[in-house]
Amino acid sequence: MGSDIDDAVALAYLLRQPACELVGITTVTGDTAKRAAMAEIVCRAAGRDDTPVLRGGERPLLHGPGQPDVPQYDAIAHRSHTLDRPPDTAVTFMRETIRSRPGEITLLTVGPLTNAALLFALDPEIPSLLGGFVSMAGWFTSPRPEWNAFVDPVASAIVYRHGVPGHRSVGLDVTLRCRMPADEVRKRFTHPPLDVVRDAAEVWFGHRPDITFHDPLATVCVFEPDVCTFTDGRVHVEPNGQTTFTAGEGPHRIATDVDVDAFFERYFAVF
């Protein structure tokens, strides 16, 4: 949140999706206070200032570049928010929430996997208590690592090694096909809270001509998985964060195709 704009685009969808009970938001990597503030601002723009927002891990578990800066924060910092949330509360919140509602909670990760790895390491029973697990992570047809997996590769390896049954990964193999140029974003991001996201996006457009809907595609797949085609198998994470996939029997499912038109139609339908 606040580095790549698509995190905020995904959050806006969750706040407007009528099938979603958004029980909490956790931020991760770098300045988690500013990331949490941005999430709060987007929630407030949707009239949802009751949604818990908690700060998670700020540094990679062992090695990795991390992501310290939150450049989009300044674009919306004039809106009401707080920066004084206590640090490192995300994992406890996630653990207590999942344990209080076994089989009901879907965990959605759209950033580096530090929080999820800490959660699984702290309480190895948590994966069996989830109702679902969806991640925007991985690039399964390239020797290059995808960013979320690369920022904290040890965390990525921990999460995938747990082998949560039915863990669905939406990677760059399909998300790179879901792009929208800046001018179209400005025309379509008019309904709250997309108007606030549009303001933050102007920082992004200072060095990119479009938005790639990485995180929003994974988010829509929580509710409408048929926008993507998934293949079963097993994901392996290399020390540099590169993800490889072996099709066949295994706990993981990766997206291998996407209906781009259906995705955009269903994304904007909630607004």
| pLDDT computed for residue 219 by the predictor | 98
Q: Which residues have a Cβ under 8 Å from the Cβ of 36 and sit 6 or more positions away? A: 1, 25, 27, 53, 54, 55, 85
Is the pTM value of this prediction over 0.85? yes
Half-sphere exposure of 49 (CA within 13 A, CB side): 8
- Domains annotated for the chain, with CATH where assigned, are 6-269 (3.90.245.10)
Question: 10 Å Cβ neighbour count for 144?
Answer: 11
Q: How many residues does the chain have?
A: 271
Tokens 């960013």 identify what position?
A: 147
| pLDDT computed for residue 168 by the predictor | 98
Q: Which segments of the chain have a pLDDT < 50?
A: none
Tell me how far apart the alpha carbons of residues 153 and 151 are, in angstroms, rounded to a whole number. Answer: 6
| pLDDT computed for residue 110 by the predictor | 98
Torsion, Cα 14 177 114 9, to 10 degrees, reads -30
Tell me how far apart the alpha carbons of residues 149 and 111 are, in angstroms, rounded to a whole number. Answer: 8
| pLDDT computed for residue 194 by the predictor | 98
Tell me how far apart the alpha carbons of residues 59 and 32 are, in angstroms, rounded to a whole number. Answer: 10
H-helix or E-strand spanning residue 169: strand 167-170
